[in-house]
A = this chain, B = another copy of it.
Amino acid sequence: MSEIWKDGRFLPADAPAVAADDRGLLLGDGLFETVKCRDGQALRWRRHRDRLAEGAGLLGIPLPAALAGIEAIAGELLRRNGLADAVLRLTLTRGSGERGLLPPAEPRPTLLLSSAPLPPTRPPARAILAATARRDERSILARVKSLNYLEGVLARMEAAGRGADEAILLNTAGRPAEASAANLFLAIDRQLVTPPVAEGALPGTMRAEIMATERVLERPIEIEDLARASEAFLSSSLGIRALVAIDGRSLADGETGPVTRRIAAAIERTERPG
């Protein structure tokens, strides 16, 4: 039986773990990180930790002391679950509270860690432009990875219903902001471009990794840019995924293009040191 870890204890994964008055459940009052692991080691951990801390600061959620030792706990969880290459999910909520929106004066946050086997590399994605959901680029929620993820869920359901793998969400100005759970990169005129965070793009950890090693132009993307792009790809903590069709129109002849292949390979090398 697989296990999870919560607030200091390992528990069976299918056991009830969270109290009915946890604000994460009742109000989506919390944050999460999805962390790729290789050989039992969390990748890009510093980026995940920093983003979680920044989000917690924006929401006013105190960081639990256990967070300092969470890498070792994650390693132990993977061992217990017999996983080497894995995906960790770290969930931080504001913890239990009285009825109502206002948080308790001294919140006791809930920290939860679960793991799953690393999914196999996915084939190139075919995306739609989501009609059911969009990003409000001026909302704090567009800048933090919060538990308010229903727009992403609806966008992905819409994609599946239209026979696609992914959904690109437009912002309130009608410009592509990101995918349901990934950032968007386009190659236009030999230039790599991605929407800025101010456009409603989540500050993704893989996005940051790419921007630290590649020349990337951050600028608002228009829908027309999607048609002009020679290649497109999605980035998430799990990796790079080519985007080969948007709303039925093929990109890069429906194949993973050379820029996408090169960047995916460069990321892959950083994940397998030695």
Interface residues of A (CB under 8 A from B): 4, 6, 11, 13-29, 32, 59-60, 87, 89, 91, 93, 98-103, 112, 114, 116, 119, 132-134, 136, 138-141, 146-154, 156-157, 160, 172, 180-181
Contacts and interface: CB of A to CB of B under 8 A. Distances in A.
A151 B208 CA distance: 26
A18 B29 contact: no
A149 to B, nearest CB: 4
Nearest to A93: B25
A24 B25 contact: yes
A136 B172 contact: yes
- Which of A11, A23, A132, A172 has the most chain B CB atoms closer than 10 A to its own CB? A172
Contacts of A87: 99
Contact of A149 (B27, B91, B160, B181): B27
A118 to B, nearest CB: 10
Contacts of A11: 20
Nearest to A110: B25
A21 B17 CA distance: 9
9 contacts: A15-B19, A18-B20, A23-B153, A28-B28, A98-B116, A101-B153, A134-B136, A148-B150, A172-B172
Given A15-B19, A24-B25, 17 more contacts: A11-B20, A16-B16, A16-B17, A16-B19, A17-B20, A18-B20, A26-B32, A26-B149, A27-B149, A99-B116, A102-B160, A103-B157, A136-B136, A138-B172, A141-B150, A147-B148, A172-B172
A26 B91 contact: yes
A136 B146 CA distance: 17
Contacts of A24: 25
A16 B13 contact: no
Nearest to A87: B99
A6 to B, nearest CB: 7
